[in-house]
Amino acid sequence: MAGTGLGQTLKIYVFGTLAAAVIRVLYATIRWEVIGPAGADEDKQVIYAFWHGRMLMLPVYYRALRNRPPLYMLISQHGDGRLIAFAIRLLGIHSVAGSSTRRGMAATLELVRRLDEGVAIGITPDGPKGPRHVCKRGVVTMARHSGVAIRPVSYSAEDRWILPSWDGMIVPKPFSRGVIVLGEIIKPTPDVVEEDFRVQIEDSLHEITQRADAHWRAI
């Protein structure tokens, strides 16, 4: 945390530790159901793509997976991003600093190098500041350069709060029911058209997010 003032560093440690503890406890109170293709919860190396507003519970979910490699997430460099990076580190998730607007290409290339080492990646294609639910090209570049497939993932809860933030962050209420929905693998091919690939990812994320939100109406 070089270059960060003492007050900001203290804020990151205190609120990051508190956030990690709250996420752990909250996740443990939820009765979770996982829906997806057979074996999807045992992925060994994929790029997990999820909307920014659906990332809160996913680090704890990932820790429970079998045969999981280390997971790295792309986290923005601003103050809130550093706080998030510290919190997810306490949850067992590594981070790479960058975003689509700051250090974007360098961060993408670093993640591609990490993929060469066999890790998994988590990325919010509409982050860090939107537009909401619009897939940007960074995830496409990462998949094409690494050859690693994308696994769309989303979650929702029967009883939840929706924060008044740009991303509409979903926070499950304690002791409610939750569902995690895994999409079909999306594999990059040498001849794929970038825009078609981007739209395919975006459409899949829309579809599984709608399925997650409508899950209890369908039961």
Which positions ≥6 away from 203 have C-beta within 8 Å? Answer: none
**Least confident residue range of 65-79, 127-141, 191-205:** 65-79
Q: Is 24 exposed, middle or buried (0-12, 13-18, 19+ CB in 10 A)?
A: middle
Distance separating alpha carbons of residues 73 and 85, to the nearest angstrom: 8
- On average, the pLDDT of the chain sits at 89
Q: What pLDDT score does 6 carry?
A: 78
Let me know the angle formed at the C-alpha of 83 by 56 and 116, rounded to the nearest 5 degrees: 75
Percentage with pLDDT > 70 across the chain: 92
Q: Answer yes or no: is pLDDT of 189 > 50.
A: yes
Q: What pLDDT score does 167 carry?
A: 94
Give the pair of three-digit tokens for residue 192. 């794929």
Query: The whole model's pTM is what?
Result: 0.90
HSE-CB for 217 with a 13 A CA cutoff: 6
Distance separating alpha carbons of residues 198 and 141, to the nearest angstrom: 10
Which tens digit of pLDDT belongs to each residue from 172-186?
999 999 999 999 999
Domain 6-218 has CATH 3.40.1130: yes
Which tens digit of pLDDT belongs to each residue from 42-82?
767 999 999 999 999 999 999 888 778 999 998 876 657 78
Least Cα distance to 20 among 63, 49, 66 occurs for 63
Distance separating alpha carbons of residues 58 and 60, to the nearest angstrom: 5
Q: Answer yes or no: is pLDDT of 1 > 50.
A: no
Average pLDDT over residues 192-214: 96
Selection from 18-32, 101-115, 183-197, 205-219 with the highest mean pLDDT? 18-32
Q: What pLDDT score does 101 carry?
A: 56
pLDDT band at 108 (very low <50, low <70, confident <90, very high): confident
Q: Which residue has the tokens 């109170």?
A: 29
Give the pair of three-digit tokens for residue 52. 């920014």
Which tens digit of pLDDT belongs to each residue from 160-170?
999 999 999 99
Q: Answer yes or no: is pLDDT of 3 > 60.
A: no
H helices of 30-132, where?
58-63, 79-90, 104-116
Let me know the angle formed at the C-alpha of 62 by 57 and 63, rounded to the nearest 5 degrees: 105
Which positions ≥6 away from 214 have C-beta within 8 Å? Answer: none
Q: What pLDDT score does 4 carry?
A: 55
